[in-house]
Amino acid sequence: MTKQCICQLCTCGKHRCPHRPYGIVGKSDQPCAVTEYKSEFVPREGGGIRESFKPDYTVQTNTAPLDDETTHKHDYIKHPVDKARSYKPEEVYVKRGDFDALTSYNKEYTPKGGERAKLIKHESQKVVSAPFEGDPTYKADYRKWEPARTEAIRHDGGYIASADPFKGESTYSTDYLKHQGAARQAIRPDNAPMQSQEPFDDRTGYRADYVRHPQQERFQRVREEYAPNKASLDSLTTNKKDFTPKQADRTRSMKPDQQGYQSNARFEDSTTNKTDFKRWEVQPIQTHKPDEYRQKPGDMDLNTMYNSEFTPKPLAKVQAIRPVERRANDAKFDAGTTYGGDFRKWPGERTAAIRAQSGYAPPNAPFEGMSTYKGHYIPHPGGPQPSFKPSGVAYQSSAPFDDATMYRTEYTHKEVEPCPAALLDSPRSNMVLHHQEATGHKFYHSQQEAAIANYQQQVTA
């Protein structure tokens, strides 16, 4: 059995549950807007307007005479100003002759005769003087709850002061011992460049092993002369052969005529509002008077947890912790380090150059002069490639225009179903009220499920 709320039945997005007025349609996991605070909170009048903490505004006056010497008077120098010259605008040339004011708008849009629309006046609302009798949703859905007073949260015991006196020594001052030492010398090597007195050895493997060989003459290929084709050029292309001109009429414009629609029929003023709208008797709304504030008897207990548990304790003044004075050390500094004791210098030699074992050995056989391209390539006779470009003549047809589209042939009008939430509590609705929670939520289920549930109850009874 499926039970649904108004928020779950709504499909148009305009119906909301009164307890979830701002929820999203289709999501029923939103929190309920009805709370104990909103149902039981009663606003009360305050004790009065709080006094302002803004200081008084007093004007500071001075009895010294006003010094009217400004920087403008001191630095400004007057210059002679000439009279501005008048500027005469150019004369406007006006063409002679009559102005043709006939436009396409005045020519095509001519005035049409028509009757003036009559004013639709609604009947005045009738006010009923009888008092309203009924139970509003505010009293039915918002019920009063009996609140209980929150108990105060207190600690088990108070603060217990230590009986031992404060010595004023910390772990840092007792465990940390300062050692005197001089600054360590830098292990960085000297930045002086390494220089040698020996002459520069420019004898490389290329100079020692390179052997010059005589260069042979380059083979030159004999160019073949161009021999034109003696046959005449066939100018008939595939485009000219297949695409022949056709005779067809010019495509007619589908633009509608620019003429206004006129009708001599009488204007029908019957609307859905006039036919379907029913007037309901409206009674004046009764205002809800809030409950008067009543002060509780007895005096207010101003003793708080802070005043009762946090009492002043007698404490001694903390003594200042001063560092020990630095004393000079006359002992000789030991410069021996792990790096200086373990590091050893190894003798370095220059890497020998890698040279080739043998030089270039030219072949003894003579060059034939026949390449792979000349041996395997065979020339074939060929003419110019025909053009596949179509002609610029537009395609024309004498057949009538076929305006039968899939939309016109297959489209069928559908009936829009109304929202199920708008039909609740009406004869057209298929949903019946199932139950109502204590907070005011209403849940509905279908009439078939209600009939099945009633039949099961009768069978069990």
- The whole model's pTM is what? 0.22
Domain that holds residue 450: 1-24+418-461
In a domain, 438, yes or no: yes
Please tell me the least confidently modeled range out of 25-29, 374-378, 393-397.
25-29
pLDDT tens, position by position, 294-346:
888 888 887 888 888 888 777 777 777 777 777 777 777 777 888 777 777 77
Which range (46-60, 384-398, 437-451) has the least confidence? 46-60
Burial 42-69 (b: 16+ CB within 10 A, else e): eeeeeeeeeeeeeeeeeeeeeeeeeeee
Q: Which band of pLDDT confidence, cut at 50, 70 and 90, is reported for residue 205?
A: confident
Collapsing DSSP states into helix, strand and coil, what is residue 448? helix
Nearest residue to 21 (alpha-carbon basis) of 121, 137, 100: 137
Task: Give how many domains the chain has, as a whole number.
Answer: 1
SS3 state at 442: strand
Residue 442 falls inside a structural domain:
yes
Work out the average pLDDT over 12-25: 63
45 or 22: which carries more pLDDT confidence?
45
Max mean pLDDT among 113-122, 150-159, 448-457 falls in 448-457
Q: How far apart are CA 272 and CA 77, in angstroms?
A: 83
Task: Read off the pLDDT band of 176 (50, 70, 90).
Answer: confident
Q: Which of 327, 297, 339 is nearest to 184 (CA)?
A: 339
Q: Indicate the SS3 state at residue 363.
A: coil
The answer to the question of residue 427 being in a domain is yes
The Cα 199–Cα 350 span in angstroms is: 16
Report the alpha-carbon distance of residue 272 to residue 115 in Å, rounded. Answer: 23
Residue 176 CA to residue 324 CA, distance in Å, equals 11
Contacts of 419 (CB under 8 A, 6+ apart): 9, 10, 11, 12, 14, 15
Dihedral of alpha carbons 8, 12, 15, 19, sign: positive
CA distance 86 to 245: 73
C-beta atoms surrounding 424 within 10 Å: 19
- Encoding tokens for residue 66? 């006003």
Is pLDDT of 404 > 80?
Answer: yes
> Does residue 344 form part of some domain?
no
pLDDT digits (tens, 9 = 90+) for 121-165: 777 666 667 777 777 777 777 777 787 777 776 665 566 777 888
Residue 8 covered by a domain:
yes
Distance CA 327, CA 179 (A): 10
When pLDDT is cut at 50, 70 and 90, the band that residue 32 belongs to is: low
* pLDDT for 41: 67
pLDDT given for residue 211 in this prediction = 81
| d(C-alpha 293, C-alpha 148), whole Å | 19
pLDDT tens for 252-273 read: 888 877 777 777 888 888 888 8
Q: Which of 3-17, 41-55, 222-236, 365-379 has the lowest mean pLDDT?
A: 41-55
Name the token pair of 18.
Answer: 């009164």
Classify residue 271: in a domain, yes or no.
Answer: no
Residue type, 111: P
Q: Which of 419, 412, 421 is nearest to 444 (CA)?
A: 421
In the prediction, which pLDDT does 358 show? 63
